[in-house]
Chains A and B, each alone.
Chain A
Amino acid sequence: MARYLLGRIISAIFVIWLVMTLTFLLMHAIPGGPFSSEKVLPPAVMENINNRYHLDDPLGKQYVDYLKNLSHFDFGPTFRYEGRTVNDVFKDGLPKTATLGALATLLALVCGTLMGIVAALKQNKAADYIATFIATIGVSVPSFVIATFLQYYIGFKMNLFPPIGWGEPINMVLPAIALSAYPIAQITRLTRSSMLDVLNQDYIRTARSKGLPGYIIVIRHALRNALIPLLTFLGPFFAYILTGNFVVEYVFNVPGIGQFFVTSIGNRDYPVILGTTILFATLLVLFNLLIDIAYTIVDPRIKLADRRGL
C-alpha cells in the first residue's frame, strides 16, 4: 500500500511537471508575441515591453524562471491587466469558482442519485420516463445553450432568479443549475442502471423475504452498493465541474476563474491561460489520486494494484 501510494505520488508529480513544460512550450510556440496584435508600436516601446516581461530572455532561461516562480506558487504578471498578477486573479476568482462548483456538485449528487433511484424503482413508469427525458436533454444540449435558456426564460422572462451578476446567494441559483445539468444527467443514468442491477441481487430478495420495509431495503441494502460505480464517474465529474465553469461563468457573468480564462483566450493573455491550465491540471491530478485512495476504503474488494492497469 505504502509503495503503491509513493509510486502514485511520484507519477502525479511527473504528470504535473510534464503539463507545465508542454503548456509553456506551446504558449511560446505561437508565432508573434502577445503584444503583436496591438497597433504597431515603436521599436523602443516594444523593447521595453519585452524587457518588462522578460520576453527577450532565451527560452531556456524563461523556462527555468517560470518553473522557479511556480515552485513558490507565483504565476507571474498578466499581460492585459496592468498591475495585476495571475495570482491576484486566482485569489479573486478561486473562491467564487469553488463556491459555485461546490454548490453544483451538491445539486448534481443529490438530484442525480434521487432521480436515478426513483427511475429504477418505478422502472418503465411515468417517473422513469420523466427522469430519462431530463437526463437525455442534459447530455444532448450544449451547456452554453442550456445556460442561455435558463438565463433568459427563468431569469429575464419569469423573473424568478437574478439572471446575471454575483454577490447574493440567490445569484448562484441559475449558474449552479446550468453547471450541474450535464452531471445530473450522467449521474441519473449511472444510478438508474446500477440500482436496477443491485435490485435483482439475491440479498435484496432475502431482505424482502425477511419482511423489511421497502425504504430500509432501498437505503441500507441497495443504495450503498449501487453508489460504488458512481465513484468511477467522480474523476470525469470533477473535471467537468472545473471546465464547465468556463461556459457557465461567462454566460452568467460570474467573476470567477472560468470567465477570466475565456476572456483571456480572446485577449491572448498567455500567462493567464498557462496558469489556469496548470492550476486545473494539478487540481485534477491530485483529485484523481484521492479518488483512487477512496476506492480502497469504500470497497475493500477493489485492489489498488488492479486499478493501475486502467
Chain B
Amino acid sequence: MRKGTSRSAVLALAAMVSLPAAAAAQAGEVVVGNISAMTGPTSGTHMMCQSGSREYLEYLNQQGGIAGKDGKVKVKYLAYDSQYVATKAKDGFSRLLEQKMAVWTQCASAHSDALIPDYEAAQVPLVTGSHGIASLYSDWAYGNYHSGIANMIRTWIVWEKAVWEKAGKPGGTLVLGTVTSDEPFVPLALWDIDAFAQQQGVKLVKETFPKGTTDAGPQLLRLKDAGVKQIYVIASATGAVVVLKSAKALGLKIPMTQCAAATLGDVIALGGPELAEGYQGEYFFEPMSKDPALGGSPGLKLARELWAKNHGKEAPNDMYVNGVLSGMVIAEGIRHALDAVPPGKLTGAAIKHGLDQVSGFTGMGLTQPITYAKDDHIGQKQVRYWVVVKKGYVEPVSDWMPTTTYRIPRK
C-alpha cells in the first residue's frame, strides 16, 4: 500500500521536474494552439490541417504580423499531440492554456465535443472545419464551413434529386444507394436518414462493408440489383479505394460520390489517378487538386505557394487548404479583435468578440462568404461537387449549392 502512494507521489514529482516550465507569451504575441493526432493512423490528415494553419500564420508573421486599428501582433503557434485520445487532448488543452493560448484549432470532431466544458470554462474560442455534434451548439466554437456530419448525405440526396427532376424524372422513382464502411462516424452520418429520404420521396438503399476488408463487391452487387442510380460512399479514403477497386472489378458503371470524410485528393493519392477517374466528391473550399489549367482564387494561389515553399518535394493535398482556411479565419478574428482592444488585451474573449464581427469573409476566394451570427457559428453553408478527371486533377461538376441544415439532437 505504502509503495503505491508514496512512490506515485515521488515519481509524479520527478515527472514534473523533468518537464520545463511553460513559456509565457511574449509581448505583442498571441498564442494559437493546435491539438491533433500527430502520431498514429489519423496523423496524415491531422498533420495536413495543422501544417496549413501553421504555415499560413507564419507567413503572416513574415509579412509583419496581424494588424488592427489598435496595434499589431505576431502569432506564436503551439501544437500538442493528442494521439487521437480524448484524455490526451484534455491534457494538451491544459498545457496550451498554461502557455497563454488565446484561440485554438484542431482537426478531429471528437476533440471539439470532448473539450467543450474546457474551452467554454477557459473562454478560449475554437476555430475549425471539423465540428462535432455538441460543438455545433457551443457559443465558443466557430466553424469555417460544414453544417454537421448528418448533412453530407442529405445535401447529396437533394442534389441528386434536383438533377433527376431536371432530366424529367426517368424511371418514375429515384433509387439511390449508399455504401459505408463501419467507421465510428458512420452512424452519425446516417442519423435518422430514412425519415429524410422518405420525406424527399427517394428510395435509399444502404449497404455496409467492414473496415479493413479489401473487397466491397457483394455490397455493390446488391446495390446494383436494387437498381440504384447513384451511390454515395461514406468511408475514409482507404474505404473509398476498396469500393472503387471492387466497382472496377465488377465493371460497375453506376456513378459514385465520396462524402467529405475524405477528399478526392486523398483517394487519388491512395488509389492512383487511373482508378479515381470519374469519382465524384464534395468540397467546402477550393481544393488544391483543382486542375491548374483552370486557374484559381488568390487564396488557392497563396495556398499553393505556401505548399511549394514548405513541402516542395511532396505531393499537394486538399486538407492543407482546409488548414489554411482555419488559419485565415483565426487571423480575421484577431484582426477584428485588434480593432477594439490593444495587443496586450488580446484574450480569448476579445478574439471571440472579434470572430463575432467576421462577415462575408471568403478567405481570399477559397470558399463562400463566412458570416457569424449570434447563435450561428457554423460558417458558410454551401458545398460544391467535383469530379476526378484525367491526370489526377479535379474539376467542378456543380455550382455552389446550399447544404441542408439538419442538426443531430444534442442528447
The answer to whether A and B belong to the same complex is: no
- Which residues of B come within 8 Å of A, CB atoms? none
